[in-house]
Chains A and B, each alone.
Chain A
Amino acid sequence: MSTEPILDVEDLSSSIAGQQVVESVTFRVPATGITAVLGRNGVGKTSTLRAIMGLNHRRGQVRLAGERIDQMPTHRIVQRGVGYVPEDREVFAGLTVAENLALAERQAQPRREFVAELFPDLVRRKDQRAGTLSGGQQQMVSVARALLNDNRILLVDEPTKGLAPKIVTEVADALREASKLVPILLVEQNLDVVRQLATDAIVIAGGRVVHTGSAVGILDDEDLTRRLLGVSAETHPGETHAGQSHTGEARS
């Protein structure tokens, strides 16, 4: 890749309450398109994203467009242009949809029209408490919060987890639209979605990055996907039937 990466992660490790959850990951995220982070459950994909955001204790270097952000508190990292869509959505249940979105607005002219076009349902439900929304609608709120601002990169963690197939398509479409404006680092277990969206992919195993390359290249390499993602054309004990399926075993 000749262009400068938007995010450069070098020897990043992370721990929660003294327990090492990310050993040492090094990777770069290109300044365009969607880069998927793949790996079995429990290898530290979510923890890697949280470490980049400064939400977990971390060591190592993280550069955003060349600037070190690994010493900054979370709110500064976000203000530098890193949007975050967390696993499990984490909408503010007691606040209305409109309040959830208003809280996320950081710039004088947030992209309200863009978000309204992408998620018209949220406009209709603006006065509804976010806690009373369906899982899919909550995910839309969570994604919308990150899209309201001109971010330089989005970190999106399992946006389709637990959603009905129809909603998965809607969320994937929204992410595709968003990726035209901003590069995305995407943790995703649904390999169908990864195949549709991702240009590049990073595979994490044993707390380290073990493979990087084009997303389709990785997904088409049956041996690699079986070995690193726990998915294959055959059925293994304790795994769901594969190929078009989710990675890994039961959640830890």
Chain B
Amino acid sequence: MSTLILTLITGVGLGALYFLVASGLSLIYGLMHVLNFAHGAFLTLSAFIGWQVAQALGTASWGSFLVSILVGAVVGAIFATLTELVLIRPLYERHIEQVLVTVGLSFASVALFEGIWGTDAINIAGPPWLIGTTNVLGASIPNKYWVLIAAAAIVLIALVVFLQKTRYGMIIRAGVENRAMVTALGIDVRRSFTLVFAIGGAAAGIGGVLAMHAQTFVSAHLGSTLLIFAFIVTVVGGLGSLTGAAVASVLVAVLQQVANTYLGGTGDFIVVILLAVVLLVRPSGLMGRRA
């Protein structure tokens, strides 16, 4: 019983991490039809900078932990905004070139990060509570998972409120449905492109700092590993659907953890099978609109 509880809660925690990365990917694809391969680079840079900030402030304190998360969000947002303005915007409406430039940026970033911070993983430390556990019905749940779940829940709520209650959110929802018609109402939809990149980058940045704490190390490849699962989550949830990304994050991660625990560590394999099944049976994803 305690193994099952541990598996489920760590699954949800991992899903929370996937969601932080996938939410931005899904919004960006939904509005701009760009699969952003550079999303992992936003995450990695945020983690490195967040780590350096935490080191400067003293890693053990909650204050420095929170500041590092905020810095991670800001770094992710700035990196993403610059990417959109400098690389994506000049290639407006050229989707293949846009995707290729993000692939190039992701490779170049990894090389750059290795040049700056080295090729070896760097062990990091945070507030001591994070490496402790909490007992839930006999299962010892590592505390870091609570932080992941809380962060993803806050980001999800903030995104939903933003999308439902603000004019920019309304423009983004309308643009995901029919971008041409948004421009035909006199709205410069390209401003929203920069905004979704910034929002996606911020969420990925938070994810980067938290992923680093979850793994207790940071490396230039932190983003690339997570990005693969975030893409799977985005496709399974339905490209462009935030709710789909949230549901699929939990579904994919819980399935992965259950398979890892009960099916001899076959989690990654099962996730790929799930992706194949979804693509065969429901190509638009769980909550996506028809392709």
Contact = CB atoms under 8 A, between A and B. Distances in A.
Contacts of A102: 167, 170
Given A95-B170, A103-B182, A75 B188 contact: yes
B2 interface: no
A103 B187 contact: yes
A57 B189 CA distance: 18
A93 B174 CA distance: 9
A92 B180 contact: no
A75 B186 contact: yes
Interface string B171-186: 1011001101111111
B49 to A, nearest CB: 36
Contact of B185 (A73, A93, A94, A145): A145
Given A99-B170, A102-B170, A103-B171, A92 B186 contact: no
Interface residues of A, number: 21
Contacts of B173: 92, 94-95
A74 B174 contact: no
Interface residues of B, number: 17
Contacts of A53: 184
A103 B170 contact: yes
A210 to B, nearest CB: 28
A92 B184 contact: no
Most chain B CB atoms below 10 A, which of A53, A79, A103, A104: A103
A220 interface: no
A78 interface: yes
Given A86-B181, A92-B181, A78 B186 contact: yes
Interface in A149-188: 149
B170 A74 contact: no
A28 B181 CA distance: 25
Interface in B146-180: 167, 170-171, 173-174, 177-178, 180
A55 interface: yes
Nearest to B180: A55
A79 B187 CA distance: 8
Given A78-B184, A92-B177, A103-B167, 11 more contacts: A73-B183, A74-B184, A86-B181, A90-B178, A92-B174, A95-B170, A102-B170, A103-B187, A104-B186, A145-B185, A149-B186
22 contacts: A55-B180, A55-B183, A55-B184, A73-B183, A74-B180, A74-B183, A75-B187, A75-B189, A78-B184, A90-B181, A90-B184, A92-B174, A92-B178, A95-B173, A95-B174, A95-B177, A99-B170, A99-B174, A103-B167, A103-B171, A103-B182, A104-B186
